[in-house]
Each structure stands twice: as structure tokens, then as C-alpha cells.
Structure 1
Amino acid sequence: MSIATRRKALGFTQESFAFAVGVDRRTVGRWEGGKSKPQPPQRPKVAEVLQMSLGELDAMLAPAEVVPQPERVASGDHHGPGDPDDMIRREFLHLMAVSGAFAVMPMDDADATEGGADNFERMNGHLWQVYQLARAKHSVYPVVQSQLVALNDALRDGRGQTGPLCFAAGDLFQLAGELAFDANRYSDAAASYSLAASASKEAGAYDLWACALIRSAYVDLSERRYQNAADSLGAARRVALRGDTSLATKHWAAAVQAEAFAWLGDFDACEEALDEAQKVSNLNGQVSNGGWLRFDGSRLAEERGARYVQLNRLDLAEAALKDALDLAPLAAGQSFRRRGAVLVDLAAIGAKRRDSEQVMQYGAEALRLARASGSGYVARRLLSLTAELGTFGRDRRIAELKAEIGTLLA
């Protein structure tokens, strides 16, 4: 094995690996090209990022004749690298657990230095943009992991004031949760959002805290714990009232709470929440930051349509969803995830009406988008659609669509 092989197995590019280790990309290129090796002071960090012991790294870097063949075989038997995705996941959880502990631990501000937290906040904002633009969300893991390593070091060493670093932690933990949620790892996502809420509360950042609660409620919604979700979102709305009144946080909480109420079959409560969410249009200026808070009301038509589908108000739902497609076509920048959700809802209306043409028109396009983006969210929505397709009997096209959705999820 080589540094390049191990780096690629863990999903790092040369750039993200160099950032994690703290060296220039050209240095990594020289290591992988055999022109130089990591120096002894650099090796502990290289081993940490490659998820190896220092001994394993030294053995890998040593000339082949220095390591006898039997010893290499024994090492492979007992200390193999394991599944790269699982190792990345475990390292992610470890880093967040350690950072979360440091974030709520009192720090001696007399020993703290200024400036570090601002750098983390800027980098976090950049990572949210990368996440939004990435078609395959899991591709963002390595660089987020690098940021977690750096944040962990800063928290441990006291490089920055406690409050701002806690804010940066609450922000980054939410992004880590989004990555886990999109990959259908609900337990990991819930743990991430819980840490985010704790760090945000410690920082006194009410809007950030409320957003962590909102994201946590999405886990409950995905696992059909609708009353739990409604309660969490009510708490998020109350926390958001103590935040920045110019931001859309409380309106986002209301929009998501409308979904919980719709699943509970409470039309009046759902309408109240939707109307509260609609008040985002009364805000002036920058109502979202494009990172941990992205709600700006632009998707309220599709949200309202989806809620009406849940409540079986099909005419109201179809009108709202078609408006959503017209207002934000994919060519104009609508995300695969958002458009996929609208298409699934329109297909679901067709299923409820036993209109196979409508099911195929919108369901097939949603399937295509799910394949193109690798979005776990759209895949989950398609799975929910298959439950609506049992009434079509032996319709060959519907059966093929269900089979293709099953293949996608597998």
C-alpha cells in the first residue's frame, strides 16, 4: 500500500489531504511520487489522517526489503484498513464527540487568541456552498472531516474565544449531520444535530440552536415519529423568538412543523403553520445566510403542495406543485433534491387518482434525477411513492418503475 492508495480509499483528493495534514499540495505530490517522505515531525498527523497507527505508517514508508514478508502478512491479518466508508464514518463521530466535549468545557479566555473563530466561520460558509453544489453529497466528507480535525485542535488548545468557537462547532456539526442524513444514517445525523444544539446553546446563538432543533426534527419525520417532530419544532419556534428578528429561522421552523401536523392529519394546525411560514415574505434584507440557515420562502409553493398531498387535498396540492415547478425550473438553479421531491409528490397525486400516465410522467423523471444526483433524500421519497402504487395491479409500466426504484435503493 502507498500513501496515494490509502488517501484515495478514504476519499481524499490531494488538495483535501494536504489541507488535513497541514502541508502544501505539491508536498503531497512529492510524497506520492517517491521524491520525498513525510518527515518524523509530520508523521503523527499523516498517520492520524490516514487512520493508521504510526507503526503502520512507518512500515508503509520503509523500503520493501526492511519489512520482512511474514511480518507484513501478519500486520494485514490483524490491522487491516477495514471498510473505508465505515472508517470515515467512525472517525467523523469520534471527532464530533471530542469537539463537542471541548465546546462545552470552560476555557481560560486569558490564554485565548483572537481571529481563529473568524477563519472557521468563513471556511464553514464555503463548505456549505460546496455541499449545496455537490451532486454526490458524500464527496464532501473528506474536506468536512479536515475541518473537524482543525476545529478539534483549536478547541483542545484554546486557540480562540469560547463563544465564537462554540458557534463554529454548532455550525459544522449541522453540516456533518446533513451529510449523514442524506446518506440515510439517521442515528449519526441525530447525534450530529444533538451536538450542534448543545454547542449552539453554549454559544448563546439562538438562531443556530433553533436550526439544529429543526434538523433534528427531520430525523423524527423520516422515522415517522410525527408527534415528537411537532414538539421539537414547537421548541425550535420558541427558541427562534429569542434570536435575530430579521432572520427567517422561526418561519422555517413553522414550515417544517406544518409537515408534522399534516402527517398527524391536523389540517387547521398545518394551515396555521404554513401561514406563519408565509410571513417570511414580510422580512427585509438578507433573511438567510446560505449555510446553516437557507430558508427564504422561495420553496413555500412546493412545501404547501406537499402538505396538501399528505392531507389528501389533491386539487389544492396539484396547483401548488405545478406552480413550484414553473417558478423554479432546474435550469434556473433549483436543486435536484427539491425538484425530485416535487416530482414525487405529483406522481403520488397521480397514484391517488389511479392515473398511470401522471405517475409515469413524474415518477420516471424523479427516478432519473435520483440517479444523476445520488441523493438519498430523493431515493427515500421514491420509496414512499412505491407504497402508493399497489392499486395498479399488473400494469407493466408501473411494475417496471417500482422495480427500478427498488434497484436504485439497493
Structure 2
Amino acid sequence: MGTFMGRRSVAEVELRRALGASLAAYREGVPLKQGDLGRLTHYSRTSIAHIEAGRQFPGREFWSTADRRLDARGALLAHYDRVCRQEKQWQIAELRGASRDGGEPPGAPPRDDDWRRDDVNRRELIRLMTLTGTLLAIPASALDAERVAHAAAHPRRLDPAVLTEYERLNAALWRTYSGTRTKRDVLPLARRQVALLKKCLDEPQRAEDRRRLCLLAGDVFQLCGEIFFDGGGYADAAHCYSIAAHASKEAREYDLWACAMTRHAFISIYEREHRSAVPLLDGAARLAERGDPGRATRYWVAAVRAQASAGLGELAACRRALDEAEEVVHLPAPEHTGWLRFESSRLDGERASCFVALGRPDLAEGPLHALLRADISTRRRGGVLTDLAVVGAQRRDVDQLLLHGAAALDTVRQTASAGYVGRKLDDLRGRLVPFLGNRHVRFLDEQIRAVTAAAPEQ
């Protein structure tokens, strides 16, 4: 991988130098000085010198203007497009190669340099997403009139194969996220994909290409939010979901938009601010009504609405929302979209989780045991075991509390990440207080504290 990146870096420099040399040749053939070309393209003389030396690489608008001003008849612009296509092919190859890289075995304890590297990836990813969100927020009226007119007359036409490849990469990222034990491992891959999409959105595009790019951005931003959410970085996750909602709105994809708002509502639910989640979920429900009726979006929104009602102690409202969510069983086939993974197999888990929150162990225990017998992920199994430990506390059954609490701890150790299960275990600690006279419960409390304290601050 390192050798490939080294070769790619050298080759990129050579490509950009060749493009800069072409610019210099056309400029000298007019002839113009570097400062003269700078004034025509709104760049400084120093910038023109850097561009011609391959040290600076402006966007397509510069090359389009230079092509017209130097009467290159499309040659400079075509040269720039060839460079961009080659660089994108390298980036795609790098991303594919990175997804097959080895590294530490699953479940290996994280090293200090792992956390430092994660923080670098995290900061760079947030920066790229913020810049991309800003690009989407700039109205056309804020741009120079000549630039707007030129962009409208000469929009960038992305190769459909490139957009299709980006869609495949997004789907591959979701599969990697679902299959990996340590979700933070997906962070550098997601960062590279965001960088690819930002580069495309940074240039004028045809309306349909821009819409598809916005859809892809809304998709991958939600994935980024899931990575941060799993690691307990709720502020970063909220930022991701907000930008994802904006990108989805620009793409006019109502299901994707509704999912971004629903994920945002999850944060309020996990921080026990259930009332704050309600307006987000109401908005998501209205958006889902405008979406594809063949998708499970509206039913997932209803399931999360049930969790908010359960947190507010509203049993009747919770049951109504669960009944609405249960209509997902009538869909012709499960939804396999990465950003929308709700299907009928999740109904028992949603129902049981709500009844646990409502303090109704009599209603929760049956569905939870049924889930343990099913083929579910380690992450979901950890959540179910924690809920069963809570049921034990609600029934004042210390043996059940200890048995399932210890099993839930084992799932955290298997994944090498506290994340979602760690947060549920931290909530369980509050229910251990009445039982701390028991030495085994005290030991469980100490183990939970040690595991959740080991997770890095984000």
C-alpha cells in the first residue's frame, strides 16, 4: 500500500508539471507575461508561476478561463480533465486497496498511536465534511455573474462510470462497517471517499450529476455519523447527521433526508433527552411520507418514535408507534440500502428495548430471549444481553443481572470498542446501586467502569 501511494504521489507531480508546462507554452505563444494572465484569470502572478511549475492545482474554472483567454481551443481544458480522471482512478484504486489491507487482528487492544491516528482522521474528516457542507450552502447568486454564466454554458460532465463507481464504493463502505468488529477502522476509508466527493462538488457540474453527488454525500456523511456515534462521539455524529440532512435535501432524496434526521434524534434518545427527539422525528415522518412507499423509512421512523415515547413513560403512544412500525412486514422484500437497514427482523429488538425503558420486564423478557436464539451481530447481542441484565435488576433477580451483565461485557471485549454496548452498560451501572452489597455485583460494577473508561474521549 505504501509503495503504491509513493508511486502515485510522484506520478501526480509529473502530471501536474506537464499540465503547467502546457499552460506556459500557450501563454508564451500569445505572448503574455505571468502577471497579465493572472489579471485575466483573477490569480496573482506568483500563483501563475506556481501553477506552471505544477506546485499549485486550481479547479476547472481556472483552466476553462485560461483556455479561452489563450485561444487554446479546448486543449488546455481537455488536458486538465485527463489529469483529473487519472488522479481519480488512482484514488479509487487506493480506496479499494485500503479496504483489503490487513492490520491488527480483530479484537486486538488499541494502542496509543491508534488513537492519535484516529484523531487525525477524525479532524480531517470533519474538516472535509464542513467544507463540503459549505459548498452545498453557497447560493448561485453569491457567485460572480461571469462565473455563473460560464458554468451554466460549460458545465462539467462527469463520466457516468465514475459516478457508478462512487456508488459502489459507498455501498462497499457500508458493508465494511457492518462486517468489522471495530467500527473506527472504517474512518480513514470514509475520509478518502469524502475527499473524492468534495473535489467533484468543488467544480461546476450538470444539474443531474450534482444531484447524484449530493445523494452520495448524504449517504457517506450518515456512515461517518454512525462511526462517531458507535464510538460515543455524539457531538461529531450530530455534525455529520446535520450535514447529511442538508446534502440529502439538495439531492431531493426524502428517504435519505428522513434517515439523517432520525439518526440525529437517536442522539437525543441516548442522552436521555427524549422530548428533544420528538420534533426531529415528527419532521422525519413528514419527509418519509414524501419518499418511496416501497422503502422501510416511515416504519423505522415509527420504531424510533416508539423509543422516544418509552423514554417519556408514554406506554400507549409507544404501543401505537410500534404497531405502525410493524407494518414493515408487508413490504415485498427487505431493504438492503446501507443507510436504511430496518426490516421486520428488528421488530422484536425494538419492542423489547421499549418495554425495558418503560420498566415492563413482563413484556420485554420473551422477545429478548427470542433474539438471543437468533443469528444477530455481536453488537446487537451485546445490547440484548445488557437489556436482559436490566430486566434482572427490575425483577431484583441478582443471578440474572450478573449472568447477562458479564456476558454483555464479553461482547465489548470481543469488539475492542465500548461504543453502543458500552453506553448501555454505563446505564446499567446506575441500576446496580441497590445491589452493591453483593461482592459479585461490586466486581461487575468495577469491570463496567474499567471498560467504559478505556474508551477514548472524542
Scaled by the length of structure 1, what TM-score is found?
0.79
Matches of 1:399 and 1:132, distance apart in 2? 34
Partners of 1:103 and 1:165 within 8 A in 2: no
What code does the residue aligned with 1:165 have?
Answer: L
Asked whether 1:250 is paired with 2:298, we answer yes
Of the three residues 352, 360, 365, the one matched with 1:305 is 352
Cα distance, 1:159 vs. partner?
5.5
Question: Which residue does the alignment assign to 1:325?
Answer: 372
The alignment's C-alpha RMSD in Å is 2.2
Name structure 1 gaps, 5 residues minimum.
Answer: 1-13, 15-24, 32-36, 45-53, 55-81
Of the three residues 341, 366, 377, the one matched with 1:294 is 341
What code does the residue aligned with 2:351 have?
Answer: R
Question: Which residue does the alignment assign to 2:440?
Answer: 397
Q: Structure 1 stretch 98-107 or stretch 260-269: which is displaced more?
A: 98-107
1:4-55: CA deviation from partner (whole Å, max 9, x where unpaired): xxxxxxxxxx2xxxxxxxxxx6534779xxxxx83671799xxxxxxxxx9x
Matches of 1:313 and 1:224, distance apart in 2? 18
List aligned pairs for 1:85-96, cutoff 5 A: 85-96=118-129
Aligned sequence identity (%):
41
List aligned pairs for 1:380-395, cutoff 5 A: 380-395=423-438
Which secondary structure state, in structure 2, belongs to the residue aligned with residue 291 of structure 1? coil
Which secondary structure state, in structure 2, belongs to the residue aligned with residue 407 of structure 1? helix
1:328-360: CA deviation from partner (whole Å, max 9, x where unpaired): 23xxxx112211111101000101112111011
1:176-223: CA deviation from partner (whole Å, max 9, x where unpaired): 111111111111110100000001011100000000001101111122
Partners of 1:263 and 1:310 within 8 A in 2: yes
Asked whether 1:241 is paired with 2:274, we answer no
1:213-255: CA deviation from partner (whole Å, max 9, x where unpaired): 0110111112221111122112111100000000000000000
Matches of 1:143 and 1:198, distance apart in 2? 22
Question: Which residue does the alignment assign to 1:273?
Answer: 321
Partners of 2:225 and 2:241 within 8 A in 1: yes
Of the three residues 270, 274, 292, the one matched with 1:222 is 270
List aligned pairs for 1:43-62, cutoff 5 A: none
Q: Name the CA shift for 1:387/1:83 in 2 (closer, same or farther; >3 Å).
A: same
Partners of 1:305 and 1:317 within 8 A in 2: yes
Matches of 1:210 and 1:288, distance apart in 2? 15
Cα distance, 1:313 vs. partner?
1.3
Of the three residues 338, 341, 344, the one matched with 2:383 is 341
Matches of 1:162 and 1:28, distance apart in 2? 29
List aligned pairs for 1:1-400, cutoff 5 A: 14=1, 26-28=3-5, 38=10, 41=13, 83-105=116-138, 106=140, 108=151, 110-114=154-158, 115=160, 116-158=162-204, 161-285=209-333, 287-326=334-373, 328-329=374-375, 334-373=376-415, 374-400=417-443
Partners of 1:104 and 1:202 within 8 A in 2: no
Matches of 1:26 and 1:342, distance apart in 2? 44
Cα distance, 1:314 vs. partner?
1.1
Q: Name the CA shift for 1:42/1:236 in 2 (closer, same or farther; >3 Å).
A: farther
Partners of 2:242 and 2:260 within 8 A in 1: yes
Name structure 2 gaps, 5 residues minimum.
Answer: 17-54, 56-114, 141-147, 454-458
Matches of 1:29 and 1:360, distance apart in 2? 53
Which secondary structure state, in structure 1, belongs to the residue aligned with residue 326 of structure 2? helix
Partners of 1:103 and 1:169 within 8 A in 2: no
What code does the residue aligned with 1:193 have?
Answer: Y
Q: Name the CA shift for 1:315/1:146 in 2 (closer, same or farther; >3 Å).
A: same
Partners of 1:210 and 1:236 within 8 A in 2: yes
Q: Structure 1 stretch 126-135 or stretch 386-395: which is displaced more?
A: 386-395
Cα distance, 1:104 vs. partner?
4.1
Q: Structure 1 stretch 109-118 or stretch 140-149: which is displaced more?
A: 109-118
Scaled by the length of structure 2, what TM-score is found?
0.71
1:273-331: CA deviation from partner (whole Å, max 9, x where unpaired): 0000000001113x4234000001211111111111111111111012112222x23xx
Question: Which residue does the alignment assign to 1:407?
Answer: 450
**Highest CA radius of gyration, 1 or 2?**
2
Cα distance, 1:102 vs. partner?
2.2
1:143-193: CA deviation from partner (whole Å, max 9, x where unpaired): 111111111111113466211111011001101111111111111110100
Partners of 2:418 and 2:452 within 8 A in 1: no
Partners of 1:174 and 1:192 within 8 A in 2: yes
Matches of 1:42 and 1:289, distance apart in 2? 43
Matches of 1:40 and 1:245, distance apart in 2? 46
Q: Name the CA shift for 1:357/1:199 in 2 (closer, same or farther; >3 Å).
A: same
Q: Name the count of aligned residue pairs.
A: 340
Cα distance, 1:98 vs. partner?
1.0
Matches of 1:87 and 1:42, distance apart in 2? 28
Matches of 2:296 and 2:199, distance apart in 1? 33
Question: Which residue does the alignment assign to 1:63?
Answer: none
What code does the residue aligned with 2:296 have?
Answer: A
Q: Name the CA shift for 1:42/1:397 in 2 (closer, same or farther; >3 Å).
A: farther
Partners of 1:233 and 1:257 within 8 A in 2: yes
